[in-house]
Amino acid sequence: MFRLSVASVLLIVSAAVFGSDVRAPSPVKFRISGTVVNAISGQPLSKIQVSVGPAVSPAASQTITTGEDGHFQFNDLSRGKYWLLAEGRGFSAQRFDQHEQFSTAIAVGPGLSSEGLIFRLSPDATIVGTITDEQNEAVAEARVMLFRTGVQNGAASTQILNQAQTDDQGHYHLSHVPPGTYYVAVSARPWYADNRPRRGLRETISDRGSIGKSSETQPDPQFDVTYPITFYPGVTDPSAATALTLNQGDRLVVDLAMTAVQCVPLRLSDPSIQPNQGFNANIAENVFGMSFPVATAVNVLGPGEVEVSGLAPGHYSINLQTFGKTPVSREQQVDLSDDSEISMANSATAPSIKGIVTMEDGRPLPRNLNVILFSRNEQNLTAQTSANGEFEMPPQFTRPGKYQVAVFGSPGMFLKSVSATGASLTARELNVVGGAVVNLKMIVSQGTGRIDGTALRDNKPFAGAMIVLVPQDIEHNSLLVRRDQSDSDGTFSLYDVLPGSYTVVAIQNGWDLQWLNPEVLRPYLKTGTAVTVAARGRYDIKVTVQ
């Protein structure tokens, strides 16, 4: 029989009576504090809204507004990592030490420094201006495009960053523009333009491919005009455009005058064009390596012939699609300087790209996977898999070029292997030529890996370094790259790493580096940290900051 001693009974009674005095120790709380300053002048910034939130969640847990001294402080924080975000009048939302889409999280806990931070906030830059015509009259509803040129995501490129539309006074405003080098381009149409076809036509086809009856009224040739895409300071050749350098806080005034030019009629002939069958004639203009559709009117002249109106002289790509018994898609590049007739019959047909995705272990494929072909020069191609894993890229968008192959849509899934017929394949890069019939066989598997690590300089944790996971043959495997920025305690994490062999490098000032260029990256690889990742593998490494 189990018995309690008198001492034991007294101890239990005492604990019951005075239980309020027998407590578990309170969890230790931590603090993040600092000062928001102007990144240019270093002056403290007041009335700036600062938010903090757990690194694993986008939701803010606390938000405050800085006073005259720019100070901010967040109390009662549990051990962990937190992001900081600040914004205010003249300062767009920015995370702490932000570079591209990366930033430094603040680690709080015993022995970690999370107070006295200096949050350098970059003031917004702005581009404003007025678009006018040759009579100095306002051009309303003009599309103003801002192209950023320089190193972006590890490669030199020119990409469209933002765009705006002019008001009825011709004014436009591009705000929250980060520092960099830019080109300004304008696309517009004269309000008085009449770009109907010049010849007696029986049927018309819109830029979406729908057919209808044409007007019998003939347009006045003097109104058959348009504006070519015009670049600052008023040129139509992109190579002659003036680059604009924008620094933090700048406000540039960029005015531009448009000059209307006579349209050049273009006639396309192809035996597959039939008035009673659907077809598309898509016209695009190349601007800094990107294709921009041109609004045109496409009219049926008769079997095998159409006319395209509304084009300025210039260089265009033509994609003609017909949807008869034997669908045809043809591509051709043309230079228009005057009235032109182009035969599409002998043009290269657009490539056909299709294939099938299967699971490595033979299990049913997850629903609605996306097969994506990434291209740096043309638009990316995307197709969704059917129930049995088959896919086909939209024929109206396929173009010759180099594409890197990937599959997305299921957590932890990765493309293990790919083979191709009808196109050459180097690692994961597909080289597609015009007219090719490409078939892909793709095998996917489950179990991506993760790499955690610490960036070190002089054997001490280093914050703000750019971390790059470099695959073998990065030139043809750039989709395998993973990046991060080291946090305040020097740590970083690389997620969804595909099985394979890699080198991890940490670079102090690498954000403007053309790290996708193997020759540029080669010196850093010598002192990087090698790691071989297995499916579902977890790794903890140390990397020396260079």
Encoded tokens for 369: 């996977």
- Quick count: other Cβ atoms within 10 Å of Cβ 4? 10
Q: In whole angstroms, how far apart are CA 300 and each of 44, 205, 318, 349?
A: 66, 7, 16, 21
Cβ partners under 8 Å of residue 14, min gap 6: none
Let me know if 84 is exposed, middle or buried by CB neighbors in 10 A (0-12, 13-18, 19+): buried
DSSP 102: B
Q: What is the 3-state secondary structure (H, E, C) of 211-248?
A: EEECCCCCCCHHHCEECCCEECCCECCHHHCCCEEECC
User: Please, which residues bridge with residue 374 across strands?
Assistant: 404
Cα 90–chain centre separation: 25
Helix (H) or strand (E) holding 285: strand 279-287
Cβ contact 108:34 at 8 Å: no
With the C-alpha atoms ordered 156, 160, 162, 167, is the resulting torsion angle positive or negative? positive
Cβ partners under 8 Å of residue 417, min gap 6: 442, 443
3-state SS assignment for residue 112? coil
- Quick count: other Cβ atoms within 10 Å of Cβ 139? 22
Tell me how far apart the alpha carbons of residues 244 and 226 are, in angstroms, rounded to a whole number. Answer: 26
Encoded tokens for 486: 């080291």
pLDDT on residue 7 = 42
User: Please, which residues bridge with residue 231 across strands?
Assistant: 185, 235
Cβ contact 333:320 at 8 Å: no
Tell me the DSSP string of 103-143. -PPEEESTT---SSEEEEEPPPEEEEEEEE-TTS-B-TT-E
pLDDT on residue 201 = 43
pLDDT on residue 273 = 81
DSSP 24: P
CA atoms within 13 A on the CB side of 272: 21
pLDDT on residue 295 = 85
Tell me how far apart the alpha carbons of residues 108 and 67 are, in angstroms, rounded to a whole number. Answer: 24
Cβ partners under 8 Å of residue 9, min gap 6: none
Let me know if 23 is exposed, middle or buried by CB neighbors in 10 A (0-12, 13-18, 19+): exposed
Q: Which amino acid is it at 31?
A: R
60-68: Cβ within 8 A, 24+ apart: 60/85, 66/35, 66/36, 68/44
pLDDT on residue 173 = 97
Cβ partners under 8 Å of residue 23, min gap 6: none
Considering just the CA atoms, what is the radius of gyration of the chain in Å? 31
Closest CA to 306 of 348, 344, 261: 344
CA atoms within 13 A on the CB side of 248: 11
Cβ partners under 8 Å of residue 449, min gap 6: 497, 498, 499, 533, 534, 535, 536, 537, 538, 539
Q: Which amino acid is it at 442?
A: M
| Residue 12 main-chain phi, psi, to 5 deg | -65, -45
Cβ partners under 8 Å of residue 20, min gap 6: none
pLDDT tens for the chain, 546 residues long, are 334 443 444 333 444 444 445 565 667 899 999 999 999 999 999 999 999 999 999 999 999 999 999 999 999 999 999 999 999 999 999 999 999 999 999 999 999 999 999 999 999 999 999 999 999 999 999 999 999 999 988 999 999 999 999 999 999 999 999 899 999 999 999 999 988 776 544 344 344 444 444 445 566 778 899 999 999 999 999 999 999 999 999 999 999 999 999 999 899 988 888 777 777 888 999 899 888 888 888 888 888 888 898 999 999 988 888 877 777 788 888 999 887 888 888 888 889 999 999 999 898 998 889 999 998 766 789 999 999 999 999 887 888 899 999 999 888 999 999 999 999 999 999 999 988 999 999 999 999 999 999 999 999 999 999 999 999 999 999 999 999 999 999 999 999 999 999 999 999 999 999 999 999 999 999 999 999 999 999 999 999 999
Helix (H) or strand (E) holding 152: strand 143-152
Tell me how far apart the alpha carbons of residues 530 and 506 are, in angstroms, rounded to a whole number. Answer: 12
